Amino acid sequence: MASLRELSKKKDYLTGGHRLCAGCGHSIAVRQVLLASEDPVVVGCATGCLEVSTTIYPYTAWKCSYIHNAFENVAATISGVESAYQALKRRGKVDKELKFVAFGGDGGTYDIGLQSLSGALERGHNMLYVCLDNGAYMNTGIQRSSATPKGAWTTTTPVGSVRPGKPRKRKDLTAICADHNIPYVAQASISHWKDLHAKAAKALQADGPAFLNILSPCPRGWRHPSDQTVKMAKLGVQTGFWPLYEVENGVWKVTVKVREPKPVAEWFKLQGRFKHLFAPGNEALLADLQGDVDSQLERILARCESTQE
């Protein structure tokens, strides 16, 4: 595990001066992941907040090989590049080690990029896919995705007399990827940099495909102050909404144990997208959402216990 001093001396593949919103969690996540690589990296990036804010023509914030592609196919793109690299190595035309990393938001990963991701994982490419999960299609106007938490306000799940925000539970993409039986899957948060760095290092060294799902708060969509991003990510972990765990060769393990999770209401009340939950008459809905968080956490802990017996 590298120290902060050691990490500060490593090459940073994403420079400052990009146009991500103040307080955006994406740049923090990208830097923490790429600092874990001991080899040069080739980055693929789906259309989304990260792409449009770091590659505004004729400028780029990337100091590595970088490929932009459509919203839905970054996993296919980077798996194709990895296949070409492996073919060149077999022919003796390339001898240096490279790492292949794909970045996508939850819209381009949970939803319209899921088939591309699933195919790449099943084919067994030596690549890392990183989902930057901010819980909605933030780049195009804060529309709901299947990563949006139940009860959250978005522009396509508005709050009114008919519905109090998004009516359905979010998709458990981390578990879906783990069930592809790939070497390494993990859930991480920008608030726990040591945990994230360790997971990124494992993922990059995995013999085959790896997947990281990273909680990346969005001040614009979550409706919280831009200087509270890391706090929002940390509370997501402390309330049990976003458990930190890994699945290494089929073995599930909690990597950061929260002994006494805080009520999820403590996290919700700091985000404007959930402010309606605290209006009189919504007590039952808030209790229902707490029950969803509790049951999801219990399922994860149960899988951890069952695979370590």
Helix (H), strand (E), coil (C) string for 263-278: CCHHHHCCCHHHHHHH
Give the confidence band of 309 by pLDDT, cuts at 50, 70, 90: low
With both helix axes pointing from N to C terminus, report the angle between 26-34 and 193-205 in degrees, rounded to the nearest 10.
50
Is the model's pLDDT at 308 over the cut of 80? Answer: no
Q: Supply the pLDDT for residue 72.
A: 96
Q: Supply the pLDDT for residue 5.
A: 80
Q: Supply the pLDDT for residue 1.
A: 66
Fold for 4-307, please state it.
Answer: Rossmann fold (3.40.50)
Q: Supply the pLDDT for residue 289.
A: 97
Share of the chain above pLDDT 90, in %: 94
Beta strands in 8-112, from DSSP E residues, in sequence order: 41-46, 65-69, 99-105
Convert the pLDDT of each residue in 245-288 to its tens digit: 999 999 999 999 999 999 999 999 999 999 999 999 999 999 99
Q: Supply the pLDDT for residue 164.
A: 92
Instruction: Give yes or no for a contact between 255 and 195, defined as CB atoms under 8 angstroms apart.
Output: yes
pTM, entire model: 0.97
Q: Supply the pLDDT for residue 178.
A: 98
Can you name the residues that pair with 104 across neighbouring β-strands?
131
Q: Where do the domains of the chain lie? A: 4-307
Is the model's pLDDT at 238 over the cut of 90? Answer: yes
Q: Supply the pLDDT for residue 3.
A: 77
Give the confidence band of 4 by pLDDT, cuts at 50, 70, 90: confident
Residue 147 and residue 105: Cα distance in Å, rounded? 10
